[in-house]
Structure formats: C-alpha cells, structure tokens
Copies of this chain bind each other. A is one copy, B any other.
C-alpha cells in the first residue's frame, strides 16, 4: 500500500447481541462515519455480511475509496483472535463456529482482525483512552455481562486457544448464586453485571420484607440496574446496600486479578460505571483489603476515558493498526 499511514483509515465493527455498530476511524481515533444495523435480521451469516457491506460502502467511497482502508477490526462475543471465528456465542443468531474474519475478507477484499468485545475495548483504551502508554493493565467491562481484556508486557493475552480473559466467569463465591446462562455458581458475572445488580436488589428486598425502600414501589419484573441506581442516588438505603455489596464482590475479584498479572491499572467500562463513586468506593476498599501488602496502594482503579457510544467501534478499529 503506497498511501501513508496518516492518510489511512480503519473500519471498526462491534457486533452485539442486539445491534451491530460500525465506523470509519482515522489513525488518531476520530470517527468520521458511523452506522448501525440490527444483528438479528438474518439467520445465516452471508446475508448479514451483505447488508453490512451495502451499508459501509457509501462511507468508504466518501473517504476516497477502498484503497484508503487499511483493514477491518471486529469485536464480537466469543470472538477468537487466532482463528478469526465466532464460536458458540449464546447471544447471537448464528450457531456453532462462524468464520467471520474469512468471510469479511472475502466480501470486502480487506484484511480483518477479530477478537472478543472486551479485548477490543482494551486495545481501544490502550490506544486512545485511560490506558495510553500502559504496558500492563486489565480492562473490565461491566454491562449486561462482565467481560475482560488483559494486557501484559504491552500485549493482549489471548492464551493458547484465543479465549483468554474470561474473568467474568471466574468463581468468586463457591456454591454461590446460580448463573442461569452458564450454569456456574458464584461467578463474578452473576454479581457484578447489570443482571447481578438486579438480582442483589431482589434478594435484599426479599430478606427485608418490612423495608420502606423506594424499590418497593416497583414490580419485581420492572426493577433493573437503572432503577436501583436512581433510588440509590435519591438516598435510598437498600439501593445503596446493593452497590455496597456489588462493590464488595467486585473488589474481592479485582484483588485476585491483581495478584495474577500485577497491572498498573484496572480500567472499568460499561453501564454500571454510571454509578460512579457508589460503586468505586466499596470496590476500592475491598480490593485493597484482599491484596497482599506488596500489591497494596499501587494499582490505579480508573473509569474508561472513551465515550461509551464510541468505545466499541474505536476498540474494534484499533485492532487494524496492530495487523501485521
């Protein structure tokens, strides 16, 4: 390619359970064009890629044509960096092993790098966000689920098979709460995700039948992490306890992660971060309390510096600049 890097662009695609968002991104992390489509319109993968192609092509033309695009980066649940496949993703329509990178390359005639969404977020954070310049950090995404991306020695840890960094599925409370999606008991995700916050709220309401918590005004089905947050901010005691408990479990888990890879920082990202200090304060307290002294008061606990709407696309696009 004879076009200098400074004039090249990367396409970032984030495939979520509901929506696929994409953008054309320059080398400094500015998103020039954005778009979105449903991830659920097509039962098979080929027509999904056809729709994606038709949606992106006009933007590619606008920036000067496909020769200005260095490649396509994709973040997807259960995305495998080594094979470029999406494998048995429970929230996607396409079952089994989908050779996504290969199909994308065939359709677009561009190189493609694929990894899971949390790994993509970590690369984005390292290139454009709170982890700029760091060689050792852990990215934790706190959304519907809990994902993670681990960077050590300046490299993402993919592991032997490409699936490293599933910290949300590590067990923090043996024989603890059942995770209906995985069947595991007591995994980090079943406590520290949006779903976990809801479950904790329902548990506390059940344990305190005489409470006058604001949460009692809602049906059980209605209660979600957003409502718990609003009640907590309004000063509701039980809702605040929900965050204290979530932070306790998260802090314990982070301490374990730190004793694994001894990162410079842990970076939190995703919907639950809106809770700010409500979550951060108990998390930090229990993180420090569970660390060996040699690790205490060393590790930064930070929120992502990327705008939530942009982060997924930026992270996915950042994979392109790492392509060999």
A residues engaging B (CB < 8 A)?
78, 87-88, 135-136, 150, 152-153, 155, 157-167, 169-174, 182, 184, 252, 255-257, 259-264, 290, 292-295, 298-299
Contacts and interface: CB of A to CB of B under 8 A. Distances in A.
Q: How many protomers of this protein does the assembly include?
A: 2
A304 B298 CA distance: 33
Contacts of A162: 262
Given A174-B252, A252-B171, A294-B78, A259 B152 contact: no
B173 A174 contact: yes
Identify whether the interface residues of A are mostly helix, strand, loop, or mixed. Answer: loop
Contacts of A256: 170-171, 256
B136 A259 contact: no
Given A136-B160, A290-B171, A260 B257 contact: yes
A261 B150 contact: yes
A164 B264 contact: no
Given A157-B153, A255-B171, A164 B294 contact: no
A294 B157 contact: no
A262 B161 contact: yes
A172 B174 contact: yes
B171 A152 contact: no
Nearest to A299: B160
A242 B110 CA distance: 58
Contacts of A152: 152, 155, 157, 159, 164
B259 A167 contact: yes
Given A152-B155, A157-B262, 4 more contacts: A88-B293, A162-B262, A163-B295, A260-B261
A164 to B, nearest CB: 4
B262 A170 contact: no
A259 B157 contact: no
A260 B260 contact: yes
A206 to B, nearest CB: 22
Contacts of A155: 152-153
Given A171-B255, A173-B174, A260-B257, A290 B184 contact: yes
Nearest to A265: B160
15 contacts: A87-B294, A88-B294, A152-B152, A153-B155, A157-B262, A159-B263, A160-B262, A160-B299, A163-B294, A166-B294, A167-B259, A167-B260, A173-B174, A184-B290, A184-B292
A287 B262 CA distance: 24
Contacts of A252: 171, 174
A170 B259 contact: yes
Contacts of A182: 292
